[in-house]
């Protein structure tokens, strides 16, 4: 009989809620988010750290959660797309993606919004180059990116007073 893999106890704060979990050392952060925590808005689009569909914020930094082990997130604050809405109100970046038609199939959208949000927390006077750089690790196969850039710019404007 194969030996059971010993699990590791970790604590994470996801979207403002603390969780104590027991994970295998090989469990990926994206697996932990999607399976025990049922936060399926974090997507998996590849297995090569390429597409960025799995992007979340880890202590404020946009990371590809398919490339981070769950144990590496022990003690961390994580934000997924489900954490953007507050008190039933869409986050300005969610609203901007709708208003600027920044998505088609939507598969890439959670990851792109979180990559953009990392930029928007530091800078709201954005150049096109800065926006393109912020989402360089996120692939969109539908939109051609123009409306994504418009959506990020729109979010920057609506977040200026926030």
Query: Is 120 within 8 Å of 159 (Cβ atoms)?
Result: yes
Contacts of 161 (CB under 8 A, 6+ apart): none
Does 69 bind ligand FES (CB under 6 A)? Our answer is: no
Q: Which is nearer to ligand FES, 118 or 143 (CB)?
A: 143
Query: Is 53 within 8 Å of 107 (Cβ atoms)?
Result: yes
Q: Which helix (H) or strand (E) holds 94?
A: helix 92-99
Minimum distance of ligand FES from residue 61's CB (angstroms): 15
Does 51 bind ligand FES (CB under 6 A)? Our answer is: yes
Does 45 bind ligand FES (CB under 6 A)? Our answer is: yes
Q: How, if at all, do strands 55-58 and 8-14 pair? A: unpaired
Q: Which is nearer to ligand FES, 5 or 46 (CB)?
A: 46
- What count of Cα atoms within 13 Å lies in the side-chain half-sphere of residue 29? 29
Helix (H, G, I), strand (E, B) or coil at 155: helix
Q: Which is nearer to ligand FES, 47 or 85 (CB)?
A: 47
**Could you say which of 50, 75, 136, 157 contacts ligand FES (CB under 6 A)?**
50
Stretch that binds ligand FES, among 15-23, 52-60, 84-92, 113-121 (CB under 6 A): 52-60
- Say which DSSP state 141 is in: S
**Could you say which of 39, 117, 140, 151 contacts ligand FES (CB under 6 A)?**
140
Q: Where on the phi/psi map is residue 118: left (φ > 0), alpha (ψ -120 to 50), or beta?
A: alpha
Q: Which is nearer to ligand FES, 108 or 126 (CB)?
A: 108
Does 34 bind ligand FES (CB under 6 A)? Our answer is: no
Given the rule CB under 6 A, which residues bind ligand FES?
A: 44-46, 49-54, 64, 66, 103-109, 140-143
């Amino acid at each position: 009989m194969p030996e059971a893999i010993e699990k590791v106890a970790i604590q994470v704060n996801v979207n403002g809620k603390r969780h104590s979990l027991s994970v295998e050392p090989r469990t990926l952060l994206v697996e932990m988010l999607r399976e025990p925590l049922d936060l399926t808005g974090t997507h998996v689009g590849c297995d090569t750290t390429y597409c960025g569909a799995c992007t979340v914020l880890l202590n404020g930094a946009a990371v590809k959660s398919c490339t981070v082990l769950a144990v590496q997130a022990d003690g961390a604050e994580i934000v997924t797309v489900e954490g953007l809405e507050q008190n039933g109100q869409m986050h300005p970046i969610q609203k901007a993606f709708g208003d600027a038609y920044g998505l088609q199939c939507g598969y890439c959208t959670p990851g792109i919004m979180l990559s953009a949000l990392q930029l928007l927390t530091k800078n709201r006077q954005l150049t096109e180059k800065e926006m393109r750089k912020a989402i360089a690790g996120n692939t969109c196969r539908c939109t051609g990116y123009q409306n994504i850039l418009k959506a990020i710019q729109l979010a920057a404007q609506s977040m200026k007073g926030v």
